[in-house]
């Protein structure tokens, strides 16, 4: 079988709700997505659309007041049915995550080298010497200068970019099948952002890891991903190969995200913004959640929720007009 086409993780009808004293608030409302081996898959959407809670549900890191239903099939096992100790075995070894804010995801009181080592200690039986050489190797691979010296540093002694390289080292040191990178470059300046993106591409090329790359920034998604899911208000509203998404976007929300991208020639001019804002998870609309912000909306959109419609073999859009006049 061609390994490029083999599925690694398949999410089916995932719903995530938060229990409150009055009711359950749904942050994710039945999403399905698939990541194949060695693929870099993007999830894009504005802040509050449910990207992070989706990632945390795969890692089983959501708080106790959460209700998660659906199926997350990872190499043949449903992650949602695992016990806590089984989850801990997989987390950090088979699936790992890089967060936006490495200052809060790293332990401020532990030397950074030790933090990479810790993951090896949990998941391998290597002895001290082998682990140390592995850690130094990884630090070198992710572009950290002078690994021996950097090993001894604490997170606050490193720059944001260096800290993110540490977080990436922790994530890759056990050679996981899947890396979930949640806005890994959002807190970094543009030059460092480009370096970290290149590093993630390199890791994907040189190891067998698939990557789920989460960002609110479609420009960044375009640079690294082969396939993209566009998320809006807890739903997948479009799925397409990255290039198709840009050349032939099918959903008005995707069109808005593309229009909002800063362009070289419009430097200094005011940026386009999609009017209105992402609905709160407490909002209960019957129709399309994007309707209040949509330039193409008509009566039906206020009352009915559109299905995902296939407009090409690998292109799906959740809009009544998709494949037609749009």
Ligand X SMILES: Nc1ncnc2c1ncn2[C@@H]1O[C@H](COP(=O)(O)OP(=O)(O)O)[C@@H](O)[C@H]1O
11 binds, among ligand X, Mg ion, none (CB under 5 to 8 A by kind): none
Instruction: Give SS3 for 309.
Output: strand
Query: Is 89 within 8 Å of 82 (Cβ atoms)?
Result: no
Measured from the CB atom, the residue of 99 and 320 that comes closer to ligand X is 99
The candidate with the shortest Cα–Cα distance to 119, out of 104, 98, 100, is 98
- Pick 55 or 322: Cβ nearer Mg ion: 55
Contact 16, 24 (CB under 8 A): no
Q: Find the shortest distance in angstroms from Cβ 220 to ligand X.
A: 15
Name residues whose C-beta falls within 8 Å of residue 219's C-beta, 6 or more positions apart in sequence: 261, 262
Q: Does 49 bind ligand X (CB under 6 A)?
A: yes
CB-CB contact of 145 with 185 (8 Å): no
Question: How near is the Cβ of 265 to Mg ion at its closest, in Å?
Answer: 30
Q: Which of 49/203 has CB closer to ligand X?
A: 49
Q: Applying CB under 6 A, which of residues 8, 14, 27, 170 lies at the interface with ligand X?
A: 27
Longest dimension (CA), the chain: 68
DSSP character at residue 91: B
Q: Is 97 in the site for ligand X (CB under 6 A)?
A: no
Site string for ligand X, 259-288 (x = CB under 6 A): ----------------------x-------
Q: Residues with Cβ < 8 Å from 228, sequence gap 6 or more?
A: 41, 42, 43, 44, 221, 238, 239, 240, 241, 242, 245
* Helix (H), strand (E), coil (C) string for 23-50: CEEEEEEEEEEEEECCCEEEEECCCCCC
Segment interacting with ligand X, rule: CB under 6 A, options 44-52, 99-107, 163-171, 238-246: 44-52
* Residues in region 24-83 near Mg ion by CB under 5 A: 51-52
Residue 281's binding partner among Mg ion, ligand X, none (Cβ under 5 to 8 angstroms by kind) is ligand X
Q: Which of 62, 170, 51, 58 is nearest to 106 (CA)?
A: 170
CB 179 within 8 A of CB 171: yes
Count of positions on this chain that bind ligand X (CB under 6 A): 12
Closest distance between Mg ion and the C-beta of residue 167, in Å?
A: 15
48 scored as a contact of ligand X (CB under 6 A):
yes
Residues 59-88 that bind ligand X (CB under 6 A): 63
Contact residues toward Mg ion (CB under 5 A) are 51-52
Contact residues toward ligand X (CB under 6 A) are 18, 27, 45, 47-53, 63, 281
């Amino acid at each position: 079988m061609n390994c490029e086409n083999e599925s690694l993780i398949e999410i089916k009808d995932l719903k995530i709700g938060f229990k409150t004293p009055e009711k359950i608030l749904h942050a994710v409302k039945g999403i399905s997505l698939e990541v194949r081996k060695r693929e870099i898959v993007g999830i894009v959407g504005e802040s509050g659309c449910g990207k992070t809670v989706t990632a945390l549900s795969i890692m089983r890191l959501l708080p106790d007041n959460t209700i998660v239903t659906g199926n997350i099939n990872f190499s043949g096992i449903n992650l949602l049915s695992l016990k806590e100790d089984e989850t801990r075995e997989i987390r950090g070894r088979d699936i790992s995550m890089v967060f936006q804010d490495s200052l809060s995801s790293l332990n401020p009181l532990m030397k950074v080298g030790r933090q990479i080592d810790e993951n090896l200690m949990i998941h391998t039986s290597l002895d001290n010497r082998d682990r140390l050489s592995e850690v130094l190797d990884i630090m070198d691979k992710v572009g950290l200068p002078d690994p021996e010296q950097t090993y001894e540093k604490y997170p606050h002694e490193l720059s944001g970019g260096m800290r993110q390289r540490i977080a990436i080292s922790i994530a890759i040191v056990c050679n996981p099948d899947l890396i979930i990178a949640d806005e890994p470059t959002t807190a970094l300046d543009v030059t460092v952002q480009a370096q970290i993106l290149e590093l993630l591409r390199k890791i994907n090329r040189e190891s067998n890891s698939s990557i789920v790359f989460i960002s609110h920034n479609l420009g960044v998604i375009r640079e690294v991903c082969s396939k993209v899911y566009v998320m809006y208000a807890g739903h997948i509203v479009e799925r397409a190969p990255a290039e198709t998404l840009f050349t032939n976007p099918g959903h008005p929300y995707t069109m808005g995200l593309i229009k909002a991208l800063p362009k070289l020639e419009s430097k200094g001019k005011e940026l386009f913004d999609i009017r209105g804002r992402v609905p709160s998870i407490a909002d209960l609309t019957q129709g399309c959640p994007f309707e209040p912000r949509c330039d193409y909306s008509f009566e039906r959109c206020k009352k009915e929720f559109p299905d995902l419609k296939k407009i090409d073999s690998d292109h799906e859009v959740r809009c009544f007009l998709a494949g037609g006049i749009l």
